[in-house]
Each structure stands twice: as C-alpha cells, then as structure tokens.
Structure 1
C-alpha cells in the first residue's frame, strides 16, 4: 500500500517538473530569438531588358510579276535555285514589240535624215525642180482659164434656148410684157410666171452684153480676175433662168382648161429646159472648182520654191530636232516595254516560288516568282505597348534561336514601326533586329527569343526585389534597429534588372542592411 502511494506521488512530481521545464524553455526561447536574415545594400551595375519572341526573315525579299499580260516563252529558274541580281527568271513573248521597235528605229533614221537635209540647205537640183513645179502649176491654171469663154458661151446658149425657145409657146409678147397663154386656178401662179419671165429676159440681155465685153480679152494673169467675175455672173444668170422654169412648171400644174396633150408638151419642154440649165450650172461650177484647185496648187509650188531658196529657218530646224527626239523617245519606250517582258531578280538570293509554265498566258500583276536574300537575315518581333517606350534604335539584343538553343547570338534594334499593329486585340509595335554577324545557318522563319537591353546603369544602389514590400502604392524595406525591433523605411525605386535586382534611388545608403523578408504586402 505504501509502495503504490509512493509511485503515484513520483508520477505527479515528474509531470510537474516537466511543465516547469517547458515553461522555462519557452521563456528563455522568447527572449533569446535568433536575429533575422539581412541583405546589404551595395553598388553595382543593373541592366533593364525587354523579352519578346520573333521570327527570322530575309532583309530583302521580292514577289515578282508582269505589269502586262502575255504568253510565257521561257522559264529560267526553279524553286531552290540561287540567283544573282539581274538574272532573268521568266520571259514573255515580245515579238509584237520587237516589230514595233524596228519601225520606231526606222522612223528615228528618217527624222534624222530630214534634220540633216534642213541643216544642209536645198541643193541646186532641188531648187530647179521646185521652179519646174511652179511653171507646171501656172500652165495648168492658164489651161483652166482658157476654157472659160467657151464654157460661158455654151451656158448662155442653153439658158437662151430654155427661155426663148422651150417656153416660147407658153407666152405672148415675150420680150416686153410676157403673158401666159393659159389661165391658172391661183392668180399668183400666173403672176409669178410672167414676172420671172420678164426678169429672165433682162438677165439674158445683161449676160449677152457681159459676154460681148470679154471679146478680145487676152489670156494671162491680168485677165484672171475678169474671168473669175464672169464665171460668178454666169452662175447668177443661170439661177435666174432656173427659178423661171420652176415658176412656169407651177403654173402649168395649176392650169385651167388646158388640153392634156398641150399641158404634157409644156411639161416636157420645161423638163428639157431644166436639164440643159442644170447641166450648164454644173459645168460652170466644176470649172470654178478646177480653177480654185489650180490656184492652191500654184501657191503651194511657189511656197515650196521660196522655202528652198530661203533655206531652213531656225524654227524649222528646231521642229525637226524635236521630231528626232520624239522618235527616239518612242523607240526607247518600246525598248523599256521589251525589257519588262522579262522578269529579272532585283536581289541576289534563293528562289522560293516559281509558278510560271512555258506556253501559259499570265495576267497582270500575278505573282509568279518570289526571291529572298539568304545572305542577310533579320528578326521581326512585336513589342507590347507597355514596353515599347523602353526600346530605342541601336539597343543591343541577345538572341537565342530555337534551332540553336545552346548559342547566344547578338544584334541591334534596326527599326521600330511608328504605327501600331493589333495582335489578338492587343496593341503592339513591330520591331526589326539586325544580326551583328551574318550566319549561313540562319534561314527564314526560325523562332528567335530576344532579350533587348534597353538600359544599363553603373555604380547604382542595388537590392533584391524580394527584400521589398509594397503598401498603398509605395515601396518599403525593413531595417533592423535592435535585437527585437525592425524599422519600416520608404524607398524610391529606379529600373528593374534582368537578374532580379532593383535600383534604389533614395531611402537607404550603401552598406546599410535590410531585412530579407521575401514578402510582398498588398
């Protein structure tokens, strides 16, 4: 019994000692907390980078087609062929243009010969030929005028026959007070016929007097104006007679109680008279036209002679020179068109597309051949708008190609597009990166991971980003003050580096230690 009590007391004593021991350990541990880990603010170099992914592409590339349609007659390359700048690729049929070029060059030669002729002046033989042309033209004109007297006389006779013979049976007292021998239903028809008959008599008498005045007129230049007047007057007299015949025919048609046979004979006489008068009018008019034509030919011959005798004027030589230049320009234009009938590579590189086939008819501006420059590649990438403000021309770039993951190549930012490019609804800006060194292994379309070094600063204060806390839009670090207390200090940050460090502009000093909190408080 006493043994059991002893064991029970011993157990409680052990428990009590354990509680006391744990309490003492807690108290000691609380007051002997090990110091927190710290980081020293130090100076160094920080590099800001923008990382994007792009694709390699040739610096120069060309999609080629014809600016006119035609039939393919020659194909000089296939896909994969290497070409030099200026090499022919595909040709169209240019036979029509070749013929046009031959004609154009012949015209150039003709215009040059004309210019040389003007500059040399007329030869004596040419002047003599021109004089002969003038003499012939004068002779032809005189021959035409020599027909005037007979023509006018014949016209007068036809007019006189029409009035005084063919109409004689229809009038009484013809020459002094003509009166129709029949009545008309319209008094005006009878009156018109009688008045025009009297006018025709007067016209014939005047014409006869004019013809008499021409007797003894000598042919030649001096008499030509007189004969011109005589022809014009003859036309007037014939028209007077023609009008009379029209009025008498109207009266016959409008007759009263005239026997049908008589009326028919009157109409036949008037028709005959009209035919003769119209023939006379046509003969006189034809002679007038012939004389006018001969006058024009004579004047042209005289002008040609004067031009040859005077020699070429500065204006005519200038015009001939202009004609030569125009002919040459036409020929050069055709040459240019012929040259365009052959596609030539504008760059040295590789053919990546060739769709032309011999005999095929191709359309305007259809892409047939594509050539890329394989010697010079560049990288094209899209930079988001949040980062584009950091990127500048000439920024150095580290390049890792998926095709060569263990190599880092270098380059520089070569261009930045000023206009935005929308990719999946996000604003980006196209940036091109040029390689520092050409590499024959690089082909078009390779994926490139770019690290653009946009800014580098030396001798600046640096701390790791995981030592920074943020609250209410401000940044802080914790600085230890004593064994159990830390002080929160606001700092101003600069750029963030690719290695995780951050530039500190103010708030701490070099050598100062900050707590490595590894936290970010919102």
Structure 2
C-alpha cells in the first residue's frame, strides 16, 4: 500500500514539473507585434482636387498654346461660332507625333512581352528549344569528327614539309659555274625585259604629263591652259622644269635599252639599269609636280570639275605604273644578287625548310589541341541548350511578371505624356462661343502661353481659388464634377477647366491661384444664377488597372521609399522592400509602379513596442 502511495506522489510531482516547464517556455516566447495589414490590389486610381467657388455670368477667354512652335494651319477666323473642343489652329507637330508613335509602339512592345510571359511557352518555343538541343548534340558529334579530320590534315602537312626539305637539299647540288651559271644569266635576261617594260611605261607617263602641261603637244591643254596652277603658279613652273629633265633622262634610257638583248654582256645591262633607274626617279618627280599643279587648279571656264578629276585620276594611274616599274626593277636587281649568292640562298632555303618542318609539327600539335578544346566547348554548349530548354518549359516567375507589369505601367505613363504633348499642338476652343480675336498667321512663330485667341461665351463659369499645394496638379481641359448648393448634392453638373491665372492671390496669408471652370451644355436645363455657391471636384489624373496600397503604408527611409511586406502573419514577421511609387490618388491610396506584387500583404499599422 505504501508503495502505491509513493508511486502516485512521484507521478504527481512529474506532472507539476512538466506543466511548470510549459508555462515557463510559453512565457519566454517572443511577443507577436500588434499590426494591421492590407493586400496589394489592382484597381483604377483617380486624383481629384476638391474646392468651393462661385458662379459667374458670361465669360471671355483669352489664351494661346501651351508650347512654342510655328503655326502651320488656321481653321477659324474672327466672328466664327465655335463649340467646345473645336480646333482653331495648329502648330507644327511632327516631333510630337513621332514621339507619340514611338511611345505607342513601346507600350505595345511592353504589353506584348507581358502577354508572352503570361501565356507561357508556346509549342513552337518548345520545339525550337528542343531543336536547339538537337543542334548542339549534332555540333558535338561534328566537333568530335573534326578532331580526326585535323589529325589527318596535320599529318599531310608534315609530309609536305618533309618533301620540301628533300627538295631544298637537292637544290644545293645544282649551283655551279658562279657568274656564268644559268641562274645568273636567267636573272640578267629577266632584268633586260624589265628595263624595256619600264622604258615603255616611262614613255606613256611622259605623254600623260605633256597632255596636261602642253609643252611638246602645245594644243593638248588649250581648254584649261589659262587656269592650270591658278592657285599657285610656282607648281606649274616646277612641273615644266621637271618635264624637261624627265624627257632628257628618258631619251638616254631609250638609247640604252635599244641595243640590249637577253644575251647582252652583264656590264652593259648594269650600265643601262643605272640610266633607266635615274629616268624612273625623275619621272616620279615630274608626276608629283604635275599632281601638285592639278591640285592648284580650279574648275573655271571650259574646265569642269569632272574633267579636272579625270586629269588627276590619269596622273594617279601612271604614277602607279611607274611605281610598279621601279619596284619590279628593284626586284630584278635583287634577283641577280640572289642568283650570284645562290649557294647561300639555297642554304638558307634548306635551313628554312628544316624550320618549316619543325613548325609544322608544332602547329599540328596546336591544331589538335584546339580541336579537342572545341569538343569541350561544344559539350558546354549542349549543357547550356538543355538548361535553356528547361527554362523555356518552366512556368513564369512572379518576379519576372511584376517587372514586366511595371514596364507596361511606365510605358503607359510615357504614352499619356506624349499624347498630352501632341494635343498641346492644337489650339482648341475651351468653351462654346464666338471667336473675338485671333492674332496669329500661318508661318508665324508663337511662344508658350502667348495670348493669341479670344472667345466670348454666353454660358456660366465658376471662379475657384486653388491652393499652391494643389495648383501643380491642375491643367487646362481637366474634367470637373460640380454640385450647386441651390440644387443639393444629388444633382451633378459636368464642366472643364478653361483657364488658370498665372498670378497668385494671397488670402489670409495663404497663396492661391484663380482658375475658371465652364459648365458643359447639360447645365442649360437648370436655372443657374450668378453668385451661386459651387462645389467642384477636379479630376487631375487617372490611371486604370494599377497596383495600389494605402499611402500610410509607404515609408521613407534613407531617401528611399519602402513598404513592409508580411511574410508570416501568425508570427508577425515582415520584410522591408524598396518600391517605386506613381500617382497619389484619392481615398488615401498611392500607385506602386514596382517592388510588390498583387495579393501581397502590406503592413499599414505597426504598434511600436
């Protein structure tokens, strides 16, 4: 019996300890912060400025364009009856229309990218990704085959280099007889032919120069002789002196070449070579001076620019021939020297063949290594193609969709701004009435806010004072919803802002700006009188289908705007996230351009502990 009593005492004691531990652990838990939250939602957002004013009878408006430009069209004249929104005149709008079209295209592109992301991968996209994988697999097979191909090609290259070594070695056996060897005689025979060809080119070049200078052929330049070197006559005198020197050298060269043949003694050929080389040098100088003379010539009188360009082109052409002759002559002389030292040349050729063989072996190793590296690179490309395929078939990420939606919102704002700029190029009637003044003509340049149009309207208007805090939101042509105390809050009238006075008005130390609102035609059904109190709601901006949160949920921290996104509602855990805000609307809401997604919970109130 005592045993059972002792057992129950121990059990009771264990339960008490356990319950105490639970109570202690519970008391140690972090307290859940007291907060309230609201989901990010997508809706239409309006910005409204509300004020009170008074009704005034009749209205005379005087205004102009909101931007500067050149008047290109006038559609009305003084005395014409106009209705609200009639176009009176236009200024040039090519740039504004281009920007509008560009913004419209950008919005369409952004919307298309969003739609494409939301639609997910198309069958065509999947097939294309699959084809890319197959293509990379085939490219890998081709790269592997290329290794074998490179190995075969390098083997053939090495074989060719080995044969070149054998040929160079054999050539060393053929050089005998020194100065009278076939190699030297053949080189001199080539030099004779080069000298004769050079003399022919020299003769053609001298004729080309004479056709411009008119020294031997006095009638060749009759059409332009008077304007030749007109800018700098010294160039013409220089060219004439060079002509006679070149002619004299050419005569000596021709005399030397006439007696030459491929069997002529080497010393005779060497002497003629010196004469022809001097003639080439003087001919190059002559052609340079002729070109300078043409550069100092202007297309005057019978000489057209086309003819002058043709003369310059002709000189340039023969300069090329003479330069080629000089180069060929140098090569021929060098060939003789090479032939005389053929033993050394062939020894060098043999050494080079050996070097080329060694280089071919090194290149073969490098080419094979490159081919092997291409196989490795292609294996990496295949892995990338497979990863791209996996990316194509994967569903769109929320962060990508949010970014694309933000881009659509930005492009929509840019399109709206471009549309407003385009509309500002038209001067429209802000009220029904009669055109009283129109001080502008087609072709005139006007500046922004220059009064050029006057309209007298018999309708009623409302004068309203807007505080300086709200005046920047209000624009001419903004839509206005109106109630009159005389008819109660259930009767609504529509109107629009037709004028904003630039001058300020100070009332009780507060700065205001006076605006004029005009009723639309529906107000004619009511007996409106001057002096009635009017309550106006001015729709200053509106955006459709945008993400919004309460304005109090947006905080400023280190110059950045942030919101607190709830990540665990039960534990009260949230993260701070940077956001970009847009339109500040009614009902305490503000547009979020980027940073959050629809449906996320945002902290709107947090009780500080």
Q: Which has the higher helix share?
A: 2
Same fold (TM over 0.5): no
Question: Over alpha carbons, which structure has the higher Rg?
Answer: 1
TM-score by length of 1: 0.35
Q: Which has the higher strand share?
A: 1
